Structures are given as structure tokens and as C-alpha cells.
Chains A and B, each alone.
Chain A
Amino acid sequence: MRLEGEADWSALVLRVRDNADEQAFSQIFAHFGPRVRAFLRKSGATDAQAEECTQDVMSTLWQKAHLYDPGRASVSTWIFTIARNRRIDALRKSRRPEPEDLPWGPEDEPDQADVFEMQQESRRLVDALAELPENQRVLIERAYFGELSHSQIAAETGLPLGTIKSRIRLALDRLRRKMS
């Protein structure tokens, strides 16, 4: 169970975006900076590489907060995708083809209820991950830390991905309707 008063990361990112709020960014940085660095180290980066990549990732957060869409991903998920892409660029010297972008229009602030639900689902996922049997959790970690080949990655994750998928699907449907 989460403590009351846990930081509302989405709201903080929006303060960075709208007001260049240094205090909000410092709070995000204090939480996620060390976690991103630890994540990269576990993914096989040297200390120096992890340091450099973490700075790139957190700089992106500061400089391009307008790219964050709270209706489609939690802040931790957004940070993960930036870190992953930096890791592929810098460590693997490769690139990851991205799907066609579906940008929100400038006036389309996502619905508050959607943002809230997305955060709830993300928390549920963190809890579910923590509650997995040790061997399953280790397998998932190894997949994301690059210790398994693509053919070794297990399909059965045992995580409640159905609900988060439906939420994202809803957001995409709404977006498609707006674009058509």
C-alpha cells in the first residue's frame, strides 16, 4: 500500500513544463535520478556511462517536459522509455524504430480522470511486480536489463497488464477519433 501524500509526479512534470519550476524538477530529480542511474547500471552500463546517460535522461525531462502526455503514460514509464532509448543509442550504438507518432493537439489536455486512472494503474503494477514470486520477478528484470535474448523472453509475465492496456487503448481510440 502506498503512503498518503506520495508525490504526484504528473503534476510536478506539468509544473516544469508550464512554469520551468526548479523546485518541482528538483523533487523529480531527487526521486528518479538515482533510480535511473541504478537501472542503467543493472542494464550493463559502466559507472561513467550510467552517469552520462542519467544526465541525458534527466535533461530531457527538464528541457522537453512538453513531450510528456499524462493521459498515456505515468512519469516513471515516460522516464523508462527515454532511458531505454538513450541506452540503445549510446551503449548499443543502434537505434530503435518508433511507431508513427500520434501527437495530441496543443489544446487537448488529457482528461483529469484519465490521468488519475493511469497513475493508479501504474502503482498497481509496481505493487504487483513486488508481489510476484521471486523467480518470475527475476525473469522480468533480466528481460528488461538485457540479460535475455529476445527468444528467451517469457511471454507469461503474471502481471495485471490487461487493465493498463485497456486504459491506453481507450486513450488511443479517443485520439484517433479526434484526428479523423
Chain B
Amino acid sequence: MTIRHHLSDQLLMAYSAGELPEAFGLIVATHLSMCDDCRARAASFDAVGGALVEASSASSGPMDDMLARILSLPQTRAVPQAPRRRTVLPAPLTDYVGGDLDAVRWRSVGMGVKQAILSTDKAATARLLYIPGGQSVPDHGHRGMELTLVLQGAFRDETDRFGPGDVEIASEDVEHTPVAENGEACICLAATDAPLRFRSLIPRLAQPFLRI
């Protein structure tokens, strides 16, 4: 797998800092499971966090009681991990799906396109998309940032081609119409910022697709 579109430093740093909405974190964790280069970059941002802890000036206040409490706790032994069953979906996703690709509860959204919304915190929405080969994804006018990670197949849009492991980072001003390549269906994980709270019905009607 040759990954050409990687995560940005902003995303990796925010992931390391623990500041990403869960849905974006899921995209990052899934990409890291497929891309050792970004995994190493992410670990270097963790090292920045470690340096910040190291550089924190020690807070005052006694901690002897805490030390005594901890030392009274039993230590646990390393449990040999059962080898993971090989799955089509990367490990972080199987946790959210509750199984592999065959366990996804798809809902049709028309023209052969299917989606499954995954349960995450409300700050952003994550969903799996299934796009038959040759089919375009109807314009879905996302707000805020949208991340799309290809799990299987490939799609093209006005900017480039995206294959397995590639991430497209699209800001609000990117108008794109992704089209799945002919052949194998394209399966993606997509995350978008939470929708704005609509006060009238009109913008709601302008968002007919994907209920995001």
C-alpha cells in the first residue's frame, strides 16, 4: 500500500494533545494503524508532550500520602496478548463497528451509496461510506473540516486521486465531488465537524444528504 496523502502536523499535534473530537481522533487512529510514517510522526508529538511534562515546574503541596497509597496497591503481571484476528477493517474501527466489515449496519442513502454513522462524542460525526465503483458522492456541502480516509478502493475528485490509506483533508471552502473509481466499491471513513444549530427549516432542507 503506497500512501500518498498523509495527516497534517496540525492534526497529529492536536491528536497527541488529546484535543481532537473523537470522530477526528478515529480517523487519525485508523490512518496510524495503516501508516508507520505518520505513526512515528505522532509519537514524536507525544515526545513534545513528554518534554512539556518534564519542563513543568513541580507543583507545591505534599504528596507523601499519595505515594503511600500507591505503594500499597498490587502490581499486575503482563498478560500475553492473544494474536489479533486479521480483519479487513483496521483495529480502531472494529471497536466502533462491533466487528469487521460484515458487521457494519449500512443504511442506503440512494444511488447505491450506503452509510453507517458511528457512535462518537457530539463534537463531530464519523461515518463509514460505501460508494459503488463509478458512482459519485452527491454534493454534501460540509461545514467546517471534513476528513476522508479511504479503506478500500479509491476515489477521485477535483484535487487528486485517493487510494487505500490516503486521507483527504478538506476545509469548508473546498467544493468537491468525489467519484469512486470503476471496479471495486470504495469504502471510506469520513468525519465532519458537528453541524451548526439551525434556527430555521430552510438550511436544514439544504442539507438533505447524510443527515450531518
Contacts and interface: CB of A to CB of B under 8 A. Distances in A.
Interface of A: 20, 22, 25-26, 29, 31-39, 41-42, 51, 54-55, 58-59, 62-67, 72-81, 83-85, 87-88, 92-101, 103, 106, 121-122, 125-126, 129-130, 140-141, 143-144, 146, 148-151, 153-157, 159, 161, 164-166, 168-169, 172-173, 176
A66 to B, nearest CB: 4
7 contacts: A29-B70, A66-B76, A75-B50, A77-B43, A99-B29, A106-B78, A161-B47
Contact of A150 (B24, B43, B55, B56): B24
A71 to B, nearest CB: 11
A143 B17 contact: yes
Interface stretch (B57-65, B100-108, B173-181, B201-209): B57-65
The binding surface of chain B is classed by DSSP as helix
A130 B14 CA distance: 21
Contacts of B53: 32, 35-36, 39, 76, 79-80, 83
Contacts of A29: 63, 66-67, 70
B153 interface: no
A119 B154 CA distance: 41
A33 B40 contact: no
Nearest to B38: A99
B29 A97 contact: yes
The binding surface of chain A is classed by DSSP as helix
Interface string B126-159: 0000000000000000000100000000000000
Q: A72, A74, A153 — which one has the most chain B CB atoms within 10 A of its CB?
A: A153
Interface string B11-48: 10111111111101110111011001101111111111
A125 B54 CA distance: 10
A39 B50 CA distance: 10
B51 to A, nearest CB: 5
Q: B14, B51, B66, B67 — which one has the most chain A CB atoms within 10 A of its CB?
A: B51
Given A97-B22, A97-B26, A129 B47 contact: no
Given A63-B73, A63-B75, A172-B36, A87 B18 contact: yes
Given A55-B66, A141-B52, A156-B9, 4 more contacts: A64-B76, A97-B28, A143-B14, A169-B36
Nearest to B59: A38
Contacts of A83: 53
A99 B52 contact: no
A166 B39 CA distance: 11
B142 to A, nearest CB: 14
B81 interface: yes
